Structure 1
């Protein structure tokens, strides 16, 4: 997401910002068919990755990767060096240490990217200047949401010639998330509902099951319940913009509030907000939105730890 927008994951184009038809739009993720596997040509120092747009020869051991949107956390989690990243990744506190030497770039900063001398460029299918970027280094793009969030990580693993490492993390993560989900359901009740909200650019959003911000964990892995109203309005597109007046209708028994501290959060001082049952019962958990946008392994591990601590007190 996003994105994306917002991220969200809030984008769908840049990871977390953007506009819907008439409001700022978050960032996201979804399901579909994955590209096929890579072919090894390691003798020449390259592999052929079967991308969405056909086969492309990429380094077998990339050393200087530029990520223009969404996937910085996937790359860094696989131990591959990043020399340039998008602005949303650069501002993420979870990424700060590993990205301290990476330069902030966009699909328009071609000269800066040339200076970085990348051997691989990764971005969303919506980025500009793909033809020009491809002349700088092999450029691979992904359609955000074309595959589910774990398959996306596996694809990036294939692209970086680290498929086994990606699969090991996926298997372990699913096991940990699902086990935590069983504990949480046992504590809060099998019928309890959970909502994920965010305030971005003076607009309140509620999220479905595939738009970052921990939604993949809560709904896909833990199988926690989404309020009917959220299911009706946010499940298809991944997010839904709403007004403060109707926020109580979309609030579950528990609420995760992905909070942007640098935007207007005065709605929290209103009676409408304070009278939401989750707020009155101390069942609303706030988190820094900048840490919660994405659904890469670095972000997902952090989100899982947050949920375990918030729901179970561990």
Structure 2
């Protein structure tokens, strides 16, 4: 009996030693793996790549972590990149997703404001030599009129910067499919030949847009048309101002209104326009059609299609 107890005791002691040694081995392995991961992360943060811009080559981090961007933050959010700083997002399709992004001024550079966000990359929506010199002292800077790029070109450019090329292509293909589906729905409903006017109320005049405020989406992407008189007035202009006296002459079957209706309250000329009287208004928050990122364009298509198909 004592021999059995002794043998069991020796066996248990042997097992304990094995478990201890195994634990030490695993602990050492875990520490080694942690060190390797730490070195890998440090290596990623110090790696860089060259982006070719019109004004020269710019060296940026391989994987930027703290990004500041003006006006096109919706594209970055769609790619899974949340900037540390960006221009206003109020009224946009991505407003809720931008709640934790610090708002910056995109028209006037505030070096202290930008420095406080500790960026490792700045994507600025315009370029001039003096501004670029200021910005590039804060962090590597890519500057240009990204807002005027097509959504495909801009998404592919951002996809290259953030190593999200595949995601960018998925977004483009998804949007293109939605575009075709919407065109087919409007055509089936007999609405593809309807005229649309995209407007915004500015003081005592109404501004009609050929490209901004939904114009590019309506006319160039969805393939809908502006009224003939408005088309003639546009010519090579991106927008025109129209006085209230002649406003009805430029209004289409549908009006995309980028302004709250309260600004037009009690305006007899406005109230007597056929599209207004018959409820053929396409409306959203005043800033919704200001943005032209992929998230905003997708939401804007829904607003236009739903408004037209409901009438």
Match of 1:282? 279
Matched, 1:302 2:288: no
Structure (1 or 2) with the greater helix fraction: 2
Q: In the TM superposition, what is the alpha-carbon distance from 1:228 to its structure 2 partner? A: 1.6
Kept in 2, the 8 Å contact 1:178–1:221? The answer is no
Choose the corresponding residue for 1:170, options 166, 169, 172.
Answer: 172
Gaps of 5+ in 1: 1-41
Choose the corresponding residue for 1:270, options 267, 287, 296.
Answer: 267
CA deviation map 1:213-272 (0-9, x unaligned): 3333322222112212222233633222221122212211111111157xx71x342221
Matched, 1:240 2:240: yes
How far, CA to CA, are the matches of 1:173 and 1:192 in structure 2?
A: 23
Match of 1:64? 66
Matched, 1:77 2:78: yes
Matched, 1:104 2:106: no
How far, CA to CA, are the matches of 1:269 and 1:303 in structure 2?
A: 28
Equivalent pairs counted in the alignment come to: 266
The TM-score with structure 1 as length reference comes to 0.76
RMSD of equivalent CA atoms:
2.5
Kept in 2, the 8 Å contact 1:182–1:222? The answer is no
Kept in 1, the 8 Å contact 2:196–2:251? The answer is yes
Match of 2:124? 123
Q: In the TM superposition, what is the alpha-carbon distance from 1:201 to its structure 2 partner? A: 4.8
How far, CA to CA, are the matches of 1:251 and 1:230 in structure 2?
A: 8
Match of 2:215? 215
How far, CA to CA, are the matches of 2:49 and 2:204 in structure 1?
A: 46
Gaps of 5+ in 2: 1-43
Match of 2:38? none
Kept in 1, the 8 Å contact 2:125–2:147? The answer is no
Kept in 1, the 8 Å contact 2:151–2:294? The answer is no
Q: In the TM superposition, what is the alpha-carbon distance from 1:82 to its structure 2 partner? A: 0.9
CA deviation map 1:268-313 (0-9, x unaligned): 4222111111112221122212222111012111101112211224
* Higher Rg of the two aligned structures: 2
By relative contact order (CA 8 Å, sep 6+), the higher-ranking structure is 1
Match of 2:23? none
Q: In the TM superposition, what is the alpha-carbon distance from 1:44 to its structure 2 partner? A: 5.7
Kept in 1, the 8 Å contact 2:288–2:296? The answer is yes
